[in-house]
Amino acid sequence: MSVQTTLNKLLASFPAFPEKRAGFLLLIDPDKYDEPTLLKLVEDATAFGATAILIGGSTMISNRLDEYIRHIKSVSPLPVIIFPGSVVQVSREADAILYLSLVSGRNPEYLIGHHVIAAPLIQQLELEPISTAYLLIESGRKTAVEFMSNSSPIPRHKPEIAAAHALAAEYLGMKLVYLEAGSGADYSVPEEMISMVSKTISVPLIVGGGLRTPDEVNRKVIAGANFIVVGNAFEHRHDKIYLQEMIAATSLSRKIEQVSR
Ligand code: 1GP
């Protein structure tokens, strides 16, 4: 019997992949928005074809996660998935949580330690954990993830190292691989690396960090990204057309000419 989990829902967008359309994951850090702006962004992203909402942040001082998720769900049918910056970012209101293991690092706390602390709570809240290999990729300046996790990123010009990490994670049973340049990164994950990793693994590949233009999003999809994550760019630019173009850029055929202006 197949269970309709959030992971299955994400994977259900795969039929689009043979035509090379990646999923679009809108990342929201509730600390960065006032609530009306946040809800408008979610509504617009839903209308423009986003796949799911990721919610979280590397610090996230707001303790209103439950409330935010309830409000997001009141304006959008999309799955809400926690993208935790720490073990306190859990909520029974979410559909799932990315159960991230920072496999690019060698800090045991981020490989297994925090997971042991969070697991009983996740079970108690009946939150679906989606086992995800999280690979931090060098992106110019030191990122918040790098600093907070006290781990080194994979050098950006070493795609074969990223591919070996991703394959090891798949062999360990992880369901998704996430190549992360870091929020607001100067340089996004290089296409050469995305291409090599996507050809090496058979689980879906998520790419995020520092994506600011539709062209850039489109290049990552062409290179092999199955899901694109964008957060920071929308914190700096509240523009409906821009949001629509960023989401449309996940399609290889890029129907941007159809975007109404
Ligand atoms: C960060 O990959 C995500 O964890 C998204 O990055 O905020 O730079 O879009 P941005």
pLDDT confidence band for 261 (50 / 70 / 90): very low
Query: Is 258 among the domain residues?
Result: no
Query: Is 103 among the domain residues?
Result: yes
User: Phi then psi for 108, rounded to 5 degrees?
Assistant: -60, -25
Verify whether ligand 1 is closer than 6 Å to residue 231 (CB atom): yes
pTM score of the predicted model: 0.94
pLDDT for residue 60: 60
Cα–Cα distance, 195 to 90 (Å, whole number): 33
Query: Is 64 among the domain residues?
Result: yes
Verify whether ligand 1 is closer than 6 Å to residue 129 (CB atom): no
Nearest CA to ligand 1 atom 1: 183
> Is a pLDDT exceeding 80 seen at residue 122?
yes
Verify whether ligand 1 is closer than 6 Å to residue 214 (CB atom): no
Q: Ligand 1 centre and the CA of 231: distance in Å?
A: 5
Q: What percent of the chain has pLDDT over 70?
A: 91
Verify whether ligand 1 is closer than 6 Å to residue 180 (CB atom): yes
CATH number at residue 117: 3.20.20.390
Q: Ligand 1 centre and the CA of 80: distance in Å?
A: 16
Distance, C-alpha 76 to centroid of its chain: 18
Verify whether ligand 1 is closer than 6 Å to residue 58 (CB atom): no
Domain, as residue range, for 62 = 5-248
Which pairing describes strands 227-230 and 205-208: parallel, antiparallel, or unpaired? parallel
Query: Is 261 among the domain residues?
Result: no
Cα–Cα distance, 34 to 19 (Å, whole number): 37
Verify whether ligand 1 is closer than 6 Å to residue 210 (CB atom): yes
Q: Ligand 1 centre and the CA of 16: distance in Å?
A: 23
Do the Cβ atoms of 191 and 197 come closer than 8 Å?
Answer: no
How many independent structural domains does the chain possess?
1
> Is a pLDDT exceeding 50 seen at residue 192?
yes
Q: Ligand 1 centre and the CA of 1: distance in Å?
A: 35
- Note the pLDDT tens digit of each residue in 207-252: 999 999 999 999 999 999 999 999 999 998 889 999 999 999 999 8
In sign, the C-alpha dihedral spanning 147, 110, 28, 135 is positive
Query: Is 257 among the domain residues?
Result: no
- Note the pLDDT tens digit of each residue in 51-62: 999 999 766 666
Q: Ligand 1 centre and the CA of 2: distance in Å?
A: 32
Query: Is 75 among the domain residues?
Result: yes
How does the average pLDDT of the chain come out, rounded? 91
For residue 204, what is the DSSP state? -
Q: What percent of the chain has pLDDT over 90?
A: 80
Cα–Cα distance, 14 to 18 (Å, whole number): 8
The pLDDT of 72-99, averaged and rounded, is 94
Closest ligand 1 atom to Cα of 233: 9
> Is a pLDDT exceeding 60 seen at residue 256?
no
Residue with more model confidence, 19 or 120: 120
| Short-list 212, 219, 201, 208, CA closest to 239 | 212
Verify whether ligand 1 is closer than 6 Å to residue 206 (CB atom): no
